[in-house]
Amino acid sequence: MLLWCLFVCRGIFAISTLPLWEGFDEFSHFAVIQHVALEAAFPRPDTGNSREVSQSLRLTPMPWPPRASPEVRYTHDSYWKSPDRERLRRELQQIPPQRPGSDVGVPGERLYEAQQPPLYYILAALPYRLMAFLDLDLHTRVFVLRLCNVLLASLAIPLAYFAAKEVLPPPFALTVALLAATMPGLSAAVFRVGNDALAVALGSAIVYLLVRRDEPSFRLAGWTLAAALLAKAYFLSLLPLAILSRKASWLPVALIAGPYYIWTFATTGSLTGEQHDVAAGLFKDTSVFSAIVQVNWRQAVDSTFWSYIWIGNWSFLPVRSWMYHGMAVLYALAAVRVPRSLVLLVGLVLSFLAGIAYHVVVTFRVHGISSSTGWYLHALVAAQAILLAAGWGPRLAPIAAALFLALDAFGLWAYQLPYYAGRIAHTPDGRLAAYPVFERLETVPSILEQLSHPGFATPLLLLYLTWTLGALTVAAYQWRRQ
């Protein structure tokens, strides 16, 4: 319960300091929710952004990678150099909320996240309808949806704990929950508007139900997998494992998720409906098999692991390379020491990694880049936490959790928050120097107020310190009790 509450504290801090649309594809996820809530229909992938979202994209600083997009006017770098910041802030606050029946879509701004399965957007449309009725401003609506995702994703903590109690000795359970809560890359995946938070909750539920190994739980796991497939297409990678297990686990998938994927294949020519997967089907000059040979797999593994460990949200703010390499050594150590009794969880993770490998091939066929999105792996955070705890052992696992906390703190205070507040900026060649936060501790309150609201610096700092000190205390307790 303590770790669960601490994780929520970390989430509230994150969503309070995360600038508008800095989460991965956040504006498009929000626009889909908005369309579903106001128009009572799911948008087509060629539907444009709403007028409200389109205007906000031009008035707020946007992440660094999509800076070449036509709808992006300011990055965080250029925004803080602009003399018009106050005017832009006022205009952003004065954008009238989108009304039902007025969402015709802005031409040229494709609502690309309409490619996603519908479950998350249908659920998120419920609180959005209430907020639309209350006529809340854009920032408040985004914050509430982010908070819903924090609460959804937090379910992974107790689910990981109870799953660990089924397959590991009792003292390990708290360590597993600690590792799940402190994984630094998880925050970027779930503390934003987007469907990954629901995927993390459902993925953790699948892990818990499967490790129980009794018939009712196994049947319920099938229904949960069906729901997960309607939340994220990457759960298709678990289907082979489900089919090879028992019929009871895949029948709900066929009955519930099957019609959606049949419709997706019929309309897009791709089973997933993902935009790159659809586009890859048009590339006849590079087949899947030739792409597998041409992919730089070392680069693909490296970039995917980096974006899994820590990526600093959509502006892609990596920490020092030796930190990633150190984490890679730790993960390799855990991998070679995982006991054979956890073969089911190993199978789940390997199936997911096979799906990531497929995404690497698709990305290469479309863009010629050997990479994938590592934060997708957090959908199985419960399974990963159990495998890591078992591989590291009772003494090393709490130390690894403390290292997770240290990496998260360094990335947050040396790169992420100072960059969002305009204290550091990219050089012409794209490099970003770390902010000397320990030499400028007096600037921390002003940075927090700049990213939230005046007077919020102290409560936010207390939230972060509560999370950090609380998690470190649990880590120290687990280390000493072994």
| Residue 85 tokens, joined | 């910041």
* Mean of pLDDT over the chain: 90
Residue found by looking up tokens 């701004």 in the block: 109
Give the span between the Cα atoms of 282 and 277, in whole angstroms: 9
End-to-end CA distance of the chain: 21
| Residue 429 tokens, joined | 């060649």
User: Which comes out higher in pLDDT, residue 176 or 73?
Assistant: 176
190 pLDDT more than 90: yes
244 pLDDT more than 70: no
Lowest mean per-residue pLDDT among 175-189, 285-299, 467-481: 285-299
> Angle at CA 295, nearest 5°, toward 294 and 296?
115
Mean pLDDT of 12-29: 95
* Residue in 28, 72, 26 with CA at minimum distance from that of residue 48: 28
> Angle at CA 158, nearest 5°, toward 155 and 162?
135
pLDDT band at 454 (very low <50, low <70, confident <90, very high): confident
For residue 75, report the phi and psi dihedrals to the nearest 5 degrees: -95, 175
Residue 308's pLDDT is 96
Mean pLDDT of 422-448: 91
- Inter-residue long-range contacts of 448-455, CB under 8 Å, 24+ positions, other chains counted: 448/17, 448/417, 450/421, 450/422, 451/16, 451/17, 451/18, 451/19, 451/417, 451/420, 451/421, 452/16, 452/17
- Inter-residue long-range contacts of 252-259, CB under 8 Å, 24+ positions, other chains counted: 252/222, 252/223, 252/225, 252/226, 253/222, 253/225, 253/226, 253/229, 255/226, 256/223, 256/226, 256/227, 256/229, 256/230, 257/225, 257/226, 257/229, 257/230
Count Cβ atoms below 10 Å from residue 21 Cβ, excluding itself.
24
Residue 459's pLDDT is 95
Mean pLDDT of 340-360: 93
Give the span between the Cα atoms of 305 and 297, in whole angstroms: 12
pLDDT band at 205 (very low <50, low <70, confident <90, very high): very high
Residue 383's pLDDT is 97
Q: What are the sequence ranges of the domains in the chain?
A: 2-15+152-481
Residue found by looking up tokens 């006017």 in the block: 73
Residue 415's pLDDT is 96
- Between the alpha carbon of residue 189 and those of residues 149, 335, 380, the distances in Å are 10, 23, 12
Residue 228's pLDDT is 96
Q: What is the pTM of this model?
A: 0.94
pLDDT band at 103 (very low <50, low <70, confident <90, very high): low
Amino acid at 386: I
Give the span between the Cα atoms of 176 and 389, in whole angstroms: 6
40-69 per-position pLDDT tens digit: 899 877 788 899 999 999 999 988 776 556
Residue 278's pLDDT is 72
Mean pLDDT of 131-143: 94
Amino acid at 190: V
